[in-house]
Each structure stands twice: as C-alpha cells, then as structure tokens.
Chain A
Amino acid sequence: AQSVTQPDIHITVSEGASLELRCNYSYGATPYLFWYVQSPGQGLQLLLKYFSGDTLVQGIKGFEAEFKRSQSSFNLRKPSVHWSDAAEYFCAVAPYSGGGADGLTFGKGTHLIIQP
C-alpha cells in the first residue's frame, strides 16, 4: 500500500522568503504525485502533478516541485512567498490505472504561516 509523509506539521516563513515543503512517499511502482492547497473550509486546488518526464515540475502560483526517485521525495518549492500563500498544503500519491490517477493517498498536510 502506498503512503505519504509530510514531516512538517507547521512551517512559518516571512513574506518574500523562499519556501520548501517536504514530502516523502512509499509506493511500489512508478508514483503519480500531486501537491494540493486547501484554504480553511474550502476544497482542494491542484498546484502541480508528476508522473513521468522532467523531474522538475512547474505548477500554478509560482510553485514548483522536484521528483527525486533515489530519495522517494517530491518537495514543493516557491522562491518568494506571498501572504496569500498561507494555507494547508497536501502531498498525495496515487496508483495509475491507464486512464488517470485512482483514489489519492494524502499526507497529513503542512500548515503554512506567513509572517509579515
């Protein structure tokens, strides 16, 4: 069975500073990896995803993530955060069933706090 570990429950970053959110996964085959963002009481917005190809993936809102198979990691980065980036961030892994990702397994999330 697949699993996702987000080791940081909370992260506090100053506005304008760089950000890296960590994600490690466990999956027997080639993983289908995602990063989502959730604002309080809201649904999920997809930031980016990876299945194959270039291991550095560009997403929306200036986010990027790098897939490192040797480290089983898929860390999310942003060079300069904005106050509007404050939210809950989830890393997820899913099996691939030919037509797309199956049900996702999520990490526990990282709560991002932005200091002025």
Chain B
Amino acid sequence: GAVVSQHPSRVICKSGTSVKIECRSLDFQATTMFWYRQFPKQSLMLMATSNEGSKATYEQGVEKDKFLINHASLTLSTLTVTSAHPEDSSFYICSARDATGAGLNQPQHFGDGTRLSIL
C-alpha cells in the first residue's frame, strides 16, 4: 500500500536551533502535502498546505517565517522550524495526497509523525 515516510521520528534539540522535518511519498507522486501539529492529548491542527513547485498556503495564525515549507519535488516536502523554542515542542504529522487517481480517488496518506522536543 501507499507509504509516507516522515523523518526524523524524534528529535531533541536546544532552543534557538532550526530543525528540518522531511515528508516523503515512497511509491506515489504527491502534488499536495499537508502539515499538521498535534499537542499532547489534543487533536491535529492543520498548519499549511504544501503544493509542489509553488508557495505553501498557511492557516490563519501559523507564522510562515517560523515554519518554512518547501515542496521541491513530487515526492518530498520539508518543514523547517526556525529558531525553535520550547513552545514549538509538539508532534508534527504530514500527509500526502496521491495524485495518481482522478476525482475522489486521490486519498491522503499520513506519515508516522515527528516528536519535536526543544530544551
């Protein structure tokens, strides 16, 4: 079945560091990917929509200069948390929409998430 690989699965770093998270679709092309954030024991919140070859679309309240998104190829989107601080600690999950099918046959597949801890 379709697989989305998210890397790293866990990262711990010092405050002020920038952290890059990768989201790869392994066996399908994804013109659109989505980034979500999940606080402990809470729901997932859509942060941004990443479109291959164009600028990402950010949800209201999400700082685009803080969370840099790059979708340079049909199989890879990256989220960079710049100058991370403890309040950025969270579980980040990506999903990729399979562009192979037409119409409704473009399901989203989720990665396993990245646990980011900023000390």
- By a beta-carbon cutoff of 8 Å, the part of chain A in contact with chain B is 36, 41-46, 49, 51, 90, 96, 98-109
Contact = CB atoms under 8 A, between A and B. Distances in A.
30 contacts: A41-B113, A43-B6, A43-B110, A43-B112, A44-B44, A44-B110, A46-B108, A90-B44, A98-B103, A99-B97, A99-B99, A99-B102, A99-B106, A100-B32, A100-B97, A100-B98, A100-B103, A100-B104, A100-B106, A100-B108, A101-B106, A101-B108, A102-B49, A103-B59, A104-B34, A104-B44, A104-B108, A106-B45, A108-B43, A109-B42
Interface string B22-58: 0000000000101010000011111001000000000
Contacts of B102: 99
A90 B46 CA distance: 14
Nearest to B31: A99
Contacts of A109: 42-43
Contacts of A104: 34, 36, 44, 46, 95, 108
Given A43-B113, A90-B43, A109-B43, A99 B34 contact: no
A69 to B, nearest CB: 18
Given A44-B44, A45-B110, A104-B95, 8 more contacts: A43-B111, A44-B95, A51-B104, A96-B104, A99-B32, A101-B97, A102-B49, A103-B59
Contact of B46 (A41, A44, A49, A103): A103
Contacts of B85: none
Contacts of A108: 42-43
A106 B43 contact: yes
Interface in B60-119: 93, 95, 97-99, 101-108, 110-113, 115
A97 B36 CA distance: 19
Contacts of B115: 41
Contacts of A90: 43-44
Contacts of B93: 43-44
